[in-house]
Chain A
Amino acid sequence: MAILLEGRKVSRNFGGLAALLNVNFQVRSGEIVGLIGPNGAGKTTLFRCITGVHPPTFGRILFKGEDISKLMPHHICVMGITNTHQVVKPFPEMTVLDNVRVGAFFGKGWVRGEVKDATQEALRVLEFTGLTSKANFLARNLTLPDRKRLEVARALATRPELLLLDEVVAGLNPTEVDRMIRLIQQLRESGITIFMVEHVMRAVLSVSDRLIVLNFGEKIAEGPPDEVARNPQVIEAYLGKNYASGKSHYA
């Protein structure tokens, strides 16, 4: 499989704090890659580096071989990378349909936008994400699960090749988690590559082909989910040194 996204020694500093340090990673087209790590590990920062919101301080990010580390977010979106936000950011006073239409209008390959076409595309995406019945609701009136879906729908409408999902499952109840997992699998089947940050292990272990683990801004492990889950370094990062070496009082 061809490499779609590649990070070479990606580093990002906030003042004196190194939020990311020399992170190398690859995402191949058609994959679902999970990005995990304890709180503050730099997962969202890495996503922001990729989308151009916080460009990397050092290092390069290549999308289909092209350096995108210095481009503006909207430019990166038009190239085919879109993300969803960890804290959902709908356009609150717009209808659900209009929210998605923004994505359809401004995303990839819409230099000349016809209102009619964008609306059609938006309706198609709403159908796919199961929001059709709420198309005319104002986004601020949606429930959290629906807002998360709207995030995905709006991102999808930009027709990304690579979709970055930042904790789309967090805060959902078990049934909703299953629905979201099914949606993610459908996305992959439709040919979209997915790179996702997730804390809900059930979700990330069940859909990912490969996991990347960050801790304190550095990559500590990478590989298939079951292998990573047994990696002592990963267990240590999540549960502490004692647990990893089997000396825990709680084990």
Chain B
Amino acid sequence: MKMEGYAGKILYVNVSGPGGNLAVRTEPLDATILRRLIGGRGYGAYLLYQLTTPATDPFHPENPIIFSTGPLTGTPLAGSKFVTITKSPLTGGLFLDSYSGGEVAGEIKFAGYDHIVIQGRAPRPSYLLIDDDRVELRDGSSLWGKTTLEAEAMLKKTLGPEYKIIVIGPAGENGVPFSCICTDYYHQSGRGGAGAVMGSKNLKALAIRGTRGISIADARGLAAFRAYLAERFRKSQYGELRVKYGTPYTTVSVSSIGVLPTRNFQQGTFEGIEKINCFSMKEKIWVSDHGCLGCVAPCMNFVRARKGRVRVVGPEYETIALLGSNVGVDDIERIAEFNELCDAHGLDTISTGNVIAFAMECYERGLIDRGATGGLDLRFGNADAVAEMIGQIAMRRGLGDLLADGVKKAAQRIGKGSSHFAIHVKGMEIPGYEPRGAFAMGLAYATATRGGCHRRAKPVEIPQDRFRYDNFGFEGNAAMVKKLQDAREPIHCGILCDALLRFCFEAEMKDVAQMYRLVVGWEDVSVPELSQLAERIYTLTRCFNVREGIRRKDDTLPPRLLYEPLPDGPGKGKIIGDETFNQMLSEYYHLRGWDPQTGIPTRETLKRLELLDLLSDWA
């Protein structure tokens, strides 16, 4: 069967075994489920469900780390991504899907694989070499302990620049549950601790090279479609802004509506925002644009800061928020420095900024003292302290060792009521949108698959002609959150950059259907089919979490965000509260077809979404 779009194979590697004897096998994609789950997040979720049980600890050798692509990855269509799927050590083993751009995504396909599944634990620090069919486990002892940037440079020097690299930093080696995976120097699969899972396998890196091709079903049609997308880009509302500033433009929009996390989510506006907004970034530190494989809208910013000592691609909006306003720092050069430190050590900037801010609030409230901080004056705004803490967290030194386990556990250990302002959902630290200024965002955080995450739905400043909703109430929010979550699914199966499709191409579901038609040759793929696929995958990942023990009570917000009002901005004085939150959540469960009491997908829903046969152990 000629496969179009797909490579057609899954690579299974087990890195256990003495003397570096690798167990390697390939399996064809399961054609009977391909249309139902496509690839990327959908197919990857299915693989993770099959390969794990609730008893599988994230650091156990059996917990797979899965690098997934989709049939659109690596094709001449749009920005390509890959997703890292595993059980998260940050959330006690819940589903984790963490996306990354760069070049690696394409290289996995060119090497001949749609998914790479790695299990086991290597006997000593190693890296995995994949060169088309050749798969070898190599000695990684000279790489262990190196920063992500150093390790990647060493591998490219030894193996050659055609190899694309996936690598972890010291934080991943030290099992920090929010350590990230880095790729192509400047891209990260940031959230949820995939770096630590790789570290627990004694796997420092993957080096991948491919010489194979991807067949396009209708290449001429795809060429014409590219021209159509380019025209939409030209006419788009925000395309030009997106390329010029990237995600940092969000500093401007978000501060005008008072949802910018400030000093551990104590405020929604930051007095120093003009010093760290996108215009400051562009003026003070920006050097050039950087893009992902196949993307016509390079939105990333290569910057130089601190007299050229800092060179990094960033800071993204989330980093400016969580490692800027949220820690009270109003210096864009220091934020770029924090970004580089996190990247080099292999830490998620969002979780790192969130947990440092938490520690700062504990310090200012006198819950921890200078004895606990090792003499550090851990007040909001102390940029030197932030830089120091990043290193301590990565290396598990001093107070960093306590914070390195995440804000939820840190609050449990510190006690004294600090859980009230430990800003996380299910253990994953909440990112850069204050939900008290946009109540639907609270629902989005509570129902996101991997925990406190903004990448499933981001119902902030959605124009009311797209959805009718009450920004400070419950009306319309459940329907909006569900629809926004669903809209991403077919793109995260692709896998393409959903930001490019949304802001630059203003793509609708029918455009996504056309992509599958042109690349994979599914003549009859339709919007209703993709809508149902979206519901299927969202419920599939929910089933994974339910199997892990998640219930309605876990779909919640931290006390500060649920019960305290913001002191500033348009949301000033407004409280989400149990009643409004529960109304949103109940309506959301109803729309998803999940039990209103427990949040468990009902049997009728599993039947309707054609999931029952895929969940072999479902009671």
A and B are partners in one complex rather than unrelated chains: no
Residues of B in contact with A (beta carbons under 8 Å apart)? none
